[in-house]
Structure 1
């Protein structure tokens, strides 16, 4: 209780009233229970004193009643006369009953005040926590669409004014491209009593765009309405950071691809020179067949066909190199993963021969289709193939073997497994194998497998490695399967 000057004046007035009642009860000879007026003192004191103060005031009123009775009846014969004694008992009973009721009311009021203070403190803590976490709360009743917004939720949507924003205002503040999805989500939540969860964008009046994540939980409804309590999180900063990270990863992946091409320069030169040499040989052979006295047209046609085939082969190699070196945004299309694997095997064929490794791969009659970026997935496969070839350099040339298996996995996933019979990966290195900057190569940067993991996870898949030291290593990745577009 705050002890202001006004309260002190009221307390002094209550004490003065009690003294006036005492003097009137003592000095007058009225045949009425004057002391009953102490009830007014108790009632007035209930708003002026604490619980302990109320007890003191009530006890003081009882003592003043007894003192006035004893002082006004000095002789014992007068003291025990029936009418005065009855009036004293009535006054004490009234004072006691009023004190008990007033004390109960005071205790209930103080308990209520404590609860209100705790509630205000909880609200303040909740509001502070919402400001710090950029998370607001919204209560929504369906089907009438009434909303109850927290202060932070209003700040996220940038609603001003004391009135609670309506559902229509919330939808109008949503980005036009996401409005339909939000309406559909609310309709499904009401129809199926689901707990909605969604991310959508807000379009501010000044043209700014915000990203908001919403989670909602269905609450108990007592009037037949469907009530939801939702949390709104401003994830704009996280989205911007995620986009910046994605751009950095794309740039790093491009640098890594160029680095791989640099490491494969000899193999690329061989893959290009081989068909060019074949083109030259077939062209010379064709000229010789033409320069005969009787030109052999059939042989010339065969030479021209071989020239076309070798030129196409060189063109495919150059196309693959240009695609790997090109810096562009990922394009997630429906692709046949087996074709991507075969292109990667073609680009690494020279390295395979140089390391004298026997490739075991049985192409499938049917393709395995996934949704992804062709160049990025090709980069992953080339990186895994080169790592396996380098690991086999510690194995005797006669027994070097690389087994590749492309298969369907549980859940309609597509899984690619590349297994070598090299020395394997030490058990302590397996958990860190895909971490950035971890490498076992003296000249390695430790980014190849980390980028592979980022690419696979961005495609909704996962990548892992298994190894038993001395028995080779197995690196696998799986991607969600997809029905080919032609079907």
Structure 2
């Protein structure tokens, strides 16, 4: 009910000023604001004027003939100039206090419920007059305006409390009311479930937030969070752990606010993070397993590719090995001559050493590409890495009558990445281009591999062919796993290429070449500072 709303102290102080001013202006001993509290009527505010017999909070029973009762019953102003001269008022209880004249008006709540009256009383006859009545009505209007404001604020407060109560009752989130000293005053069932306690534990006073907090978190609470709470009145949500009743720990997200600035009590909202933490752990494990399967497929792809390149690799190795044999025979002949030519023999052995080193380098590249190792990032000069791949694929290009042209930019910054994986991506793109061009019978078969800088700070690698190209509707689909147009193909090559590039923080895209063919381009983030430092060194 509206009349149950409590008038706050700051409003009472303003009303006190009003009645004191009324008593002074009208030159009467008493100016009062009366409040009805069935079965009594109470002096709510009494002027501090000289000779005022009414004390604040003083009560009297209703239905005893008080002036104010009539005002409240009729809801009309009442003027009694002299009670001794009016038969209706000779027995009025106020006469016993010497108050023989009265002027009062009703005060009501916005819904029409009676609050009480505002009135003035005098020990002598007083006709008050129209001006004083208007003044009293004006003061009454001020009081009723305050009551309207209080009613509006109370309604808003009740609505907020109802929303909060619905939140508490819904048990969607844990809620508890705390004291800075550690006691938990109240909590909903959701919070009790989070920490594994019963309501009996709460009622008995055994539930304390300081006991629920592990020592390492308690130190942080007292050193960081509580000072912030005292200073700002609230804490932004943060993660911590709480002890459950069984001694286990539960991860939670908690936020808090004090009821008033600098206060020692407030409310905290608690969200159980157990499921989220479990999901995060499962996601990390899934990511780990996924990466192990990236790695396994990539290795399988490299081994398969090396198998396809057997003839080309064999050709690359036959050249330096054959040259070693020829130079060894020449060197022996120079040494076996009637006059041994040591200089010619020395040059032959130097050529043997050079060709053996070349064969060894080829073997090392092959071994690196087929070795199954996790990603190992290092600073890579992309042009050098591409050159090694082109060496391995040169025989495949010659076999398919493909002309290879390189347009490698100078002074490129280094890229941070796994050299073998980047080479695998290049290997797949080059072999795809060669195989695509092998299917055409008319026109040149040209493969162009170029590098350059890509803003803001990345290296751009482009593989351009003159093959049949890719239909526009298939441009994105070719990167999907198991998508292939080759007989017997697995459809993993381009998918693996994109995964490798993305794992390095770059992008791989496909577009049409002009007048025909396809253009694959990928970027890898670069480190300009590292490149400059190495160049200066």
TM-score (norm 2): 0.55
Find 2:459's aligned residue among 414, 430, 433. 414
Find 1:162's aligned residue among 209, 218, 234. 209
- CA–CA distance in structure 1, aligned partners of residues 491 and 219 of structure 2: 47
- CA–CA distance in structure 2, aligned partners of residues 171 and 354 of structure 1: 73
Aligned in 2, Cα 1:364/1:114: closer, same or farther, shift over 3 Å?
A: closer
Greater relative contact order (Cα 8 A, min sep 6): structure 1 or 2? Answer: 1
Could you tell me how far 1:98 is from its partner in structure 2?
Answer: 11
Find 2:113's aligned residue among 77, 91, 100. 100
SS of residue in 2 equivalent to 1:327: coil
Do 2:321 and 2:359's aligned partners in 1 also have CA atoms closer than 8 Å?
yes
SS of residue in 2 equivalent to 1:438: coil
Could you tell me how far 1:379 is from its partner in structure 2?
Answer: 0.4
- CA–CA distance in structure 2, aligned partners of residues 324 and 418 of structure 1: 20
Could you tell me how far 1:161 is from its partner in structure 2?
Answer: 5.6
- CA–CA distance in structure 2, aligned partners of residues 449 and 291 of structure 1: 57
Do 1:418 and 1:476's aligned partners in 2 also have CA atoms closer than 8 Å?
yes
Do 1:432 and 1:438's aligned partners in 2 also have CA atoms closer than 8 Å?
yes
Could you tell me how far 1:363 is from its partner in structure 2?
Answer: 4.1
Residue 345 of structure 1: aligned partner: 390
Greater share of helix residues, 1 or 2? 1
Could you tell me how far 1:412 is from its partner in structure 2?
Answer: 2.2
Are 1:402 and 2:415 counterparts?
A: no
Aligned in 2, Cα 1:305/1:94: closer, same or farther, shift over 3 Å?
A: closer
Residue 374 of structure 1: aligned partner: 419
- CA–CA distance in structure 2, aligned partners of residues 320 and 368 of structure 1: 23
Aligned in 2, Cα 1:355/1:95: closer, same or farther, shift over 3 Å?
A: closer
1:409-465 deviations in Å (ceiling 9; x for gaps): 111211111101111110000122212222222222121111111111111111111
Are 1:40 and 2:39 counterparts?
A: yes
Are 1:293 and 2:306 counterparts?
A: no
Do 2:412 and 2:452's aligned partners in 1 also have CA atoms closer than 8 Å?
no
Equivalences for residues 263-278 of structure 1 within 5 A = 263-278=308-323
- CA–CA distance in structure 1, aligned partners of residues 303 and 519 of structure 2: 26
Q: Answer with 410-419 or 277-286: which moved more.
A: 277-286
Could you tell me how far 1:277 is from its partner in structure 2?
Answer: 1.5
Do 1:423 and 1:471's aligned partners in 2 also have CA atoms closer than 8 Å?
yes
- CA–CA distance in structure 2, aligned partners of residues 432 and 118 of structure 1: 51
Residue 451 of structure 1: aligned partner: 496
- Runs of 5+ in structure 2 lacking a partner? 2-34, 43-68, 74-86, 94-102, 116-146, 176-189, 196-206, 225-235, 256-260, 263-268
Structure with greater Cα Rg: 2
TM-score (norm 1): 0.60
- CA–CA distance in structure 2, aligned partners of residues 279 and 118 of structure 1: 89
Do 1:422 and 1:470's aligned partners in 2 also have CA atoms closer than 8 Å?
no
SS of residue in 1 equivalent to 2:487: coil
- CA–CA distance in structure 2, aligned partners of residues 171 and 275 of structure 1: 71
Are 1:121 and 2:166 counterparts?
A: yes
- CA–CA distance in structure 1, aligned partners of residues 156 and 413 of structure 2: 70
Equivalences for residues 200-279 of structure 1 within 5 A = 234=277, 235-279=280-324
1:61-118 deviations in Å (ceiling 9; x for gaps): xxxx99xx9xxxxxxxxxxx9459x99xx9x969999971579889976764442231
Residue 437 of structure 1: aligned partner: 482
- CA–CA distance in structure 2, aligned partners of residues 321 and 354 of structure 1: 20
Aligned in 2, Cα 1:172/1:473: closer, same or farther, shift over 3 Å?
A: farther
Q: Answer with 116-125 or 163-172: which moved more.
A: 163-172
- Runs of 5+ in structure 1 lacking a partner? 2-35, 44-64, 70-80, 131-135, 137-149, 174-182, 184-195, 217-221, 224-228
Q: What number of residue pairs does the alignment pair up?
A: 352
